[in-house]
Amino acid sequence: MEYFLTSEFWCNMLWVGLIVVCVLVFISGFFFCNKLSEVGGGGLFIALSVVAFLFISVISLLDEIKFPCLWDHYRGPVIILAKEAPLLHNYFMAVNRSLARTEEEIKKLNAEKENSAMTEAKDVYNDQIKNQENRKKELENMGYRVEQLAQRLYFSKYLTRLGNLSADSDIERELREVQEACAQLVNEE
C-alpha cells in the first residue's frame, strides 16, 4: 500500500499516461492523414514529424522533472543516492542548503562587524562568526562524507552488475550511520 504513495509509482503512472497519449495521438494523426490524402493533401510525413517532435519534447521535459538534480551542480555519484537511499539524498540536499545559508550568515555577520564601532560588539560578532564557521566545517565534512559514501556505493553497484562480489552489507550499514548523522546535523538548526 505504501508503494502507491511513493514518487516512483506516480512517475511510472505519468510514463504510462504519456505512452497512452502518444499512441492515441499517433492513431488519430494516421486517420487524419488518411483523410487528407483522400482530399489530396498528403501530409502523412508532416503529421508523423509533429507527433515525433511532441513525443521527444515531452520525454525531455519529464526527464528534467524526474531528475532535477542532474541540471544542478550535484552531478556525479551522489545522484545514485536518489535511487538507492532517497532519505540520505534528501539529507544531502538539506546539508547543502544549510551550508549555503551558513555562508550567507557569515557574510552578513562580517558586514555587520565592519559597520560596528564598539569593540564589545565586534567581540560578539567574532564569536558568532566563529560558531558559524565551525558549523560550516561540520556541514562541509558531512557533505564530503556523503559524497565519498556515494562513490563507494556507485562502485559497489557497478561491481555487482558485473557479477563480482561486493561488500553491500558494509555499505548499507554505513549508509544508515551517515543518514542518522545527517539527520542530527540538519536538525540542529
Percent pLDDT > 90 in the chain is 13
| Mean predicted confidence (pLDDT) in 145-172 | 75
Cell of 133: 564557521
User: 6-32 pLDDT, tens per residue?
Assistant: 666 676 777 777 777 777 777 776 676
Question: Residue 136 pLDDT more than 90?
Answer: yes
pLDDT(117) > 50 = yes
Per-residue pLDDT at 55 exceeds 80: no
Residue 76 backbone dihedrals phi, psi, to 5 degrees: 110, -160
Whether the pLDDT of residue 156 is over 50: the answer is yes
Q: Which three cell numbers stand for residue 182?
A: 545527517
Q: Which residue has the higher pLDDT, 154 or 73?
A: 154
Q: What's the mean per-residue pLDDT of the chain? A: 76
Alpha-carbon distance 155 to 161, whole Å?
10
Distances (CA, A) of 51 to 26, 27, 56, 97: 7, 10, 9, 40
So what's the pLDDT on residue 43? 60
